[in-house]
Each structure stands twice: as structure tokens, then as C-alpha cells.
Structure 1
């Protein structure tokens, strides 16, 4: 059990997703978002977080999932990947878990409804399945200039 990875678990609709905790800077309540003209359809806009301007994407739009109204549980997970900081709106951020590497099936062996390029694998945790996201690939094309 020396190959443990820690993941921040969040929900989009009925599914649970995980991202490596080392890429998460902070988890915030939803802040006022300023729209940006001509941004990609899944970019909600930017937020001012303690003086830092951060682009925010709507993961549901990025994954073509049905949109719902934001609830009080909704969060913006601020992640940092390859020196780029981006916020992702999620329905809720539920917990941090540890998963052994062997509990994660590679993405190519699993068929889920979103672009499999964004998926690192599927984690098995007792009776739950977690879609582990590859943030480098997911956020590769997010540029707000």
C-alpha cells in the first residue's frame, strides 16, 4: 500500500470525479464571475480571487452534461496545471480520499460518456466508481487572453 494517491472528489450531476490533490490549490464557494467576450462556450468568465484573475470553466458544458441551476453546494475548484491556474465549477466537492494505484483502471479499458482523452482512469472505492480526470489534457485548450 505504498503507492497511494490522494484525490479531491467532486460531483457533476450523479457522477463522482477525482482529481489529483497535488493539482488543487483551493476550493471556493462560487464567486461573482465576469463574462468574457468570444470565450469558448464552456468558459464562464473570470473571477478575482484575492487579487488574482482566474479563468473559470463549466465542467458540465465541457463534458456536454445537462446543466442544472447552481446550488449552495456548488464550488469552484482552483487547480494549477503546468503553471496555468484555472477554476472549475462543480456541483459539490465532497471529500479527499486515498486510493492505491492498483485500484485505478486505465481509461482505455473503460468506456464512459465523456471524451476519454480527459480521463486518466476509473478508481474503485468500496462500492463506488470514481472517474479520475487528467487535468493536463482537460485544460490544454483553455486559454483566456
Structure 2
């Protein structure tokens, strides 16, 4: 087991979230997102990354944060879940940090049902919520997304 991990930190409003760096493929400036009919509400649409069609998730909606207009400073984080490559629309990416695994409090020890949060990273300047990408979509949403993507590929 590793005693230190690297994380990509991003913002939604003033809230800080993180993903394991090993899950992140790349971060890009926001681009036009093509709407995807019949996709779950949390899916903004799709984009192409080097020929791969990737669903773009509205992380604000998933965390029940207020919607806001897209900004030129917004970023898209391409990351791997256990099942697929996904894109997360975020306000900005602030940092890549390294911290000891002992500085991460697992979500289950705080509250048993912290949806979409794997843990909390304690830094000198505050807390960062460690995002659980594999729990981002429910099984029903996962199936709905698969059907929408399949329908999009049909001629």
C-alpha cells in the first residue's frame, strides 16, 4: 500500500474537490458539448477526444450546487472510471497535490452515506473532498447513458 498519493484538485464555486491523479487522462479548456438525447439528467452531452466519444458530466448538478453560465475559464477533466472514460465539467483546476494517505479521512467514518465522495483530504488551508468517480452514476443512469450513446451511434 502506498503511503502517499497524488490528486488533481478542482473547484466548483469555492468548494474544492479532488480526483486521484492516476485516474486523470488530461485537462482541457471547455469546448462545445453536443447534447445527447435521452441521457441521464447529470449528462451535459458528448465531446470527441481524439475520435473517442466521451460523455460530459455536470458535476454541479450531481453535487446539488447552483447552476451557472459556462465561462471561458471552465475546464473539462477527462478521467477513467472502472467502466469508461468520462469528462467532468468544472470551474477550474487549481493544483496537483501530493499528500500522505493518513491525511485522507474515508467518507464512511464521517457519514455512512456520503454519496459520490470517497473521503476528505485535510490540508493546512482547509478540506478537499475526494470524489468517487465509480459511484458518480447509479446503475439506472449507467444503463440510460449506454442506451443514449448507442442510439447516438446508430445511422
Please give the TM-score of this superposition, normalised by the length of structure 2. Answer: 0.84
The CA distance in 2 between the partners of 1:68 and 1:42, in whole Å, is 14
Q: How many residues align?
A: 141
Residues 1:63 and 2:63 aligned together: yes
Determine if the alignment matches structure 1 residue 94 to structure 2 residue 89: no
Which sections of structure 1, spanning at least 5 residues, go unmatched? none
C-alpha deviations, 1:23-67, integer Å up to 9, x for none?
A: 000101111111011111111100012211111011001111101
Aligned partners of 2:58 and 2:89 also within 8 Å: yes
Instruction: Give the unaligned 5+ runs of structure 2.
Output: 150-155
Cα RMSD of the aligned pairs, angstroms, is 1.6
In structure 2, distance between residues paired with 1:65 and 1:109: 24
Write out the 4+ residue segments of structure 1 that deviate beyond 4 Å after TM superposition. none
Q: Secondary structure at the match of 1:116?
A: coil
Structure index of larger Rg: 2
**Larger helix share, 1 or 2:** 2
1:121 and 2:113 correspond: no
Q: Partners in 2 of 1:53 and 1:139 — Cα distance?
A: 18
Q: Distance in 2 between matches of 1:8 and 1:41?
A: 25
